Amino acid sequence: MNEILLRTVRRVGTSGAPADVRIVDGRVSEIAPTGTLDPTGPDTEVVEAAGAWLGPGLRDHHTHFDQWALVRRRVDVSTCDSAESTAALLADVARTGVTDRVLIGHGYRDGLWPTPARRELLDQAAPGLPTVVISGDLHAVWCNALALEYFSAVVGRPLETGDDGVLREQDAFDVTGALSQVPDDLLDGYVADAVEAAAARGVTGIVDLEMRFGLDRWRRRIHAGADALRVSSGVYATELEDVIGRGLRTGDVVDGTRGLLTMGPFKVVTDGSLGTRTAAMTDGSGVLAWPFDELVAITRRAVDAGLVPAIHAIGDRANTLALDVFETVGTRGTVEHAQLLVDTDVHRFARLGVAASVQPEHAMDDRDIADRHWAGSTDRAFPFAALERAGARLLLGSDAPVAPLDPWISMAAAVGRDRDGREPWHPEQRMSALAAWRGSTDGRVGVAVGDLADLVLVESDPLASSSAGLRAMRVLATAVAGRFTYREL
Ligand SMILES: [Zn+2]
């Protein structure tokens, strides 16, 4: 019998009276005032928590985990404010000697660049080296001439651009997809590192919406010891029939993974993104990926097979259509992103039982782009308070690698809508600390007897922290089913 006694914790959701918590065989078995629990079991490990705050383990409800594991190893260009400075940073890296076949930058945001990207800037930055820079929202890839040649050969058709060297949408996805094709053992090593990094931020569970169905990869990784996270692995339309053929239903636990791996949702992408100006808008601009009838048909097919839909919608038109799909099919699920909503749609989430799966840090990354491209509409962009007031269930995520896989960053952006010392952006749409917290766990606020011991111990009360305090929250320990996955105690 595995037994842990956490001594002197303060519980999130309470006034903070010190308590001791006993964990037996992966579950919380007793909670009592500090000093009143007998620590003298033969196998009892006593952990002095010294007043740390104890809460349910954290969840990131929207990740692209393989991409995140890869991106953590690429050149981060997200702070570059022009095409020239991006190229200059890559030139610096190229000079130090690149051992990989392709030089990869990640995270450019050209929405506010004074002049657009040009292919020749990258030709000059890394002579002789195929060089690509992936946009922060993954919908565009800026390439030099060698990279266009290289990836045309890899994907098997000519990839053509204008003078900008920028591939968009499917062409961009094909290139990022090819970049993800690293050998399994290498990728598994990157993933194992990223799993550890997530645990160090208090994460015990993720929803993985990797475009290539990941269930079998995750089973292999968990077997190999990358077992610090519960993973819900989603599937896209391209592999939907395989999943249905295997009889996998959302929530099914995969055998032999100690309950860590479950079948995730059916993910379907309906429009583009804000940064790439491809979000589908009520003014008719943007891109719709599916005719409505086909979207209804494939969603119904998935639902009939036991899969819960997760529908990507960014523009206001795309969100209306996503909600229409849920209403037509008559199912619950999630709208992923829900970035721009018309007022009449805000109440539909709660009414239809559809959760808004939001990524608050995108609002911080894209506030200036939204002010420009969604001018006059930003009072209904990332409308967290409106959704909360309307009773919608809010789920928080990072969309890693678009934002770092760190729920404290998401919570900070949700409750503060501020970053970098700037004034808050539309502070009237701040989320309450309670909603941000519940949206970052499995819905629980605090820890109770009988709960699965997926736990996090942190330095301060998350419900009483400033946005800056949340962003920099110190995590002291993380546990999955009573097993420490990260600990400083
Ligand atoms: Zn995503």
463 Cα–ligand 1 center, Å: 27
Distance 160 CA to ligand 1 centre (A): 26
d(CA 453, CA 27): 5
Q: Cα of 399 to ligand 1 centre, how many Å?
A: 5
Instruction: Using the mean position of ligand 1's atoms as its centre, give its distance from the Cα of residue 124 in Å.
Output: 32
**Cα 310 to middle of ligand 1, angstroms:** 10
Q: How many whole angstroms separate alpha carbon 44 and alpha carbon 38?
A: 10
**What confidence score (pLDDT) does residue 112 get?**
85
**312 Cα to the center of ligand 1, angstroms:** 8
Buried b (16+ CB within 10 A) or exposed e, 325-343: bbeebebebbbbbbbbbee
Distance of CA 1 from the midpoint of ligand 1 (Å): 40
Residues 6+ apart with CB under 8 A from 69: 187, 190, 191, 193, 194
CA distances from 80 to 110, 206, 369, 387 (A): 9, 30, 15, 33
**Distance in Å, CA 383 to ligand 1 centroid:** 19
**Order of strands across the sheet that contains 131-135:** 75-76, 103-108, 131-135, 140-143, 166-168
Q: 234: CA distance to ligand 1 center in Å?
A: 11
Q: How far is the CA of 77 from the centre of ligand 1 (A)?
A: 20
**Along the 489 residues of the chain, how does pLDDT read in single tens digits?**
689 999 999 999 999 999 999 999 999 999 999 999 887 777 889 999 999 999 999 999 999 999 999 988 899 999 999 999 999 999 999 998 777 789 999 999 998 899 999 999 999 999 999 999 999 888 899 999 999 999 999 999 999 999 999 999 999 999 998 988 888 898 999 999 999 999 999 999 999 999 999 999 999 999 999 999 999 999 999 999 999 999 999 999 999 999 999 999 999 999 988 887 889 999 999 989 899 999 999 999 999 999 999 999 999 999 999 999 999 999 999 999 999 999 999 999 999 999 999 999 999 999 999 999 999 999 999 999 999 999 999 999 999 999 999 999 999 999 999 999 999 999 999 999 999 999 999 999 999 999 999 999 999 999 999 999 999 999 999 999 999 999 999
The alpha carbon of 37 and the centre of ligand 1 are apart by a number of angstroms equal to 45
Query: H helices of 115-252, where?
Result: 119-125, 145-155, 169-179, 184-199, 215-223, 240-245
CA of 318 to the centre of ligand 1 (A): 15
Residues lining ligand 1 (ion), CB within 5 A?
399
CA of 63 to the centre of ligand 1 (A): 6
User: How far apart are the CA of 398 and the centre of ligand 1, in A?
Assistant: 8
Expressed in angstroms and rounded, the spacing between residue 22 Cα and the centre of ligand 1 is 38
Distance 402 CA to ligand 1 centre (A): 8
pLDDT for 262 equals 98
CA of 236 from ligand 1 middle (Å) equals: 12
From residue 434, give the alpha-carbon distance in Å to each of 203, 419, 461: 18, 20, 11
Separation of 49 CA from ligand 1 center, angstroms? Answer: 36
Task: Please give the distance, rounded to the nearest whole angstrom, from the Cα atom of residue 475 to the centre of ligand 1.
Answer: 26
Distance 51 CA to ligand 1 centre (A): 37
Q: 164: CA distance to ligand 1 center in Å?
A: 25
DSSP 8-state class, residue 423: P
In this structure, what token pair is assigned to residue 68? Answer: 């995140």
* Cα 62 to averaged position of ligand 1 atoms, centre (Å): 6
- Cα(338) to ligand 1 centroid in Å equals 12
Two tokens, residue 302? 């998935």
What is the predicted pLDDT for the residue at 222? 97
Tell me the C-alpha distance between 356 and 141, whole Å.
Answer: 28
Which tokens hold the place of 89?
Answer: 């940073």
The SS3 call for residue 10 is strand
Contact between 46 and 7 (Cβ < 8 Å)? yes
Residue/partner pairs of 239-246 with CB below 8 Å, 24 or more apart: 239/212, 239/213, 240/266, 240/298, 240/301, 240/302, 240/307, 242/213, 243/213, 243/305, 243/307, 244/301, 244/302, 244/305, 244/307
Beta pairing, strands 131-135 & 140-143 = antiparallel
Å from CA of 277 to ligand 1 middle: 16
Is-contact 129 97, C-beta < 8 A? no
Q: For the beta carbon of residue 293, count every other beta carbon within 10 angstroms.
A: 9
Distance between Cα 157 and ligand 1 center (Å): 26
- Distance set, CA 173 to CA 151, 397, 434 (Å): 12, 21, 37
Distance 144 CA to ligand 1 centre (A): 26
Which residue, 391, 442, 435, 395, is CA-closest to 415? 435
Q: What is the DSSP annotation of 457-489?
A: EESS-GGG--HHHHHTPPEEEEEETTEEEEE--
Query: How many residues in total does the chain contain?
Result: 489
Q: What is the pLDDT of residue 438?
A: 98
Residue 357 Cα to ligand 1 midpoint, Å, equals: 10
**Whole-angstrom distance, CA of residue 411 vs CA of residue 425:** 15
Centre of ligand 1 from the C-alpha of residue 65, in Å: 10
3-class DSSP assignment, residue 339:
coil
The pTM assigned to this predicted structure is 0.88
Q: How many angstroms separate the alpha carbon of residue 382 from the centre of ligand 1?
A: 16
Task: Give 38 Cα–ligand 1 centroid separation in angstroms.
Answer: 47
Interval between CA 136 and ligand 1 midpoint (Å): 11
The dihedrals phi and psi of 24, each to the nearest 5 degrees, come to: -125, 125
